[in-house]
Amino acid sequence: MILVPMLLIVLYAFTRKGNDVTTFLFTLENFKKFFSDTIFLEVLWRSLRVAIETTIVCILIGYPAAYFISKSQEEVKMRWVLLITIPTWINMLVRTYAWIGILQDDGIINSILGVFGISPLTMLHTDFAVVLGMVYNFIPFMILQIYTSLTKMDHSLIEAASDLGANKFESFLRVTLPLSLPGIISGITLVFLPAVSSFFIPKLLGGGQYVLIGTVIESQFLTSGDWNFGSAISLIMALIIMVSMYLTRKVDRGEQSETGVL
């Protein structure tokens, strides 16, 4: 189920149809077409930038939220975790559609602003809308990963740091934060990977003119019918994702060896 589709993508990426529809000719033209066109490179960079921005926002919001939940009482913890996971029970497409009604010119936010005499803001079909939609859909993965890492932490280490004269801020920087890095790394992986390849969130919230690499791949398969070029782009993205996973895991192992976490 995993290997055969990947082999088909590789086959289509490195081939083109010959004169006979049953024959395929080896070629690198699909990759040359992608890297020689500045438009595709701009789309790739825009996709990486949006994914990085989404990941950073998820960390900045998710870490304090996970830390707060981990410090709550046991019965309260489960309630917070339930509130975070409930939205994930609803189809992601439905949740994204809901943001259209919130962000559009006559939506909920602009209606509230109008009560205070503030002119409507253009939020839909912008970078802000796309990043907001991705953060909303992917932030539960960041919070839950960091929360799990914080709850598994040995709290006696914090008590030891306090006994050695460290205040709460120093204990957080020297003990809590390093020990929670595995959760942060896992959260980055679970947020960045789907964000960089997402296609329907930018399509709905960014509008037809807002194109990311996932949208390009979708159009090559479903609209243009150029499966060879679409497979080449998919293979390029797969390599980028694998390199990203390798780097994050390498950082994770390095942090574990420094903190003594095995």
Read off the CATH number of the domain in which 239 is found.
Answer: 1.10.3720.10
Residues 234 and 220: beta-carbon distance below 8 Å: no
- Domain annotation covers residue 258: no
**Segments of the chain with pLDDT less than 50:** 261-262
Write down the pLDDT at residue 140: 94
pLDDT at residue number 262 = 39
Structural domain includes residue 14: no
pLDDT at 59: 96
CA distances from 70 to 7, 73, 163, 221 (A): 43, 8, 22, 44
The answer as to whether 230 is a domain residue is: yes
Residue 191 and residue 58 in contact, taking contact as beta carbons nearer than 8 Å: yes
In a domain, 212, yes or no: yes
* pLDDT of res. 258: 58
Q: What is the pLDDT of residue 105?
A: 84
Whether 6 is in a domain gets the answer no
Q: Is 22 inside a domain boundary?
A: no
Instruction: Answer whether residue 74 is part of any domain.
Output: yes
What's the distance, CA 46 to chain centroid?
14
Q: Is residue 232 part of a domain?
A: yes
Number of domains in the chain: 1
Residues spanned by the domain of 144: 27-253
Neighbours of 56 (CB within 10 A): 15
Residues 6+ apart with CB under 8 A from 52: 192
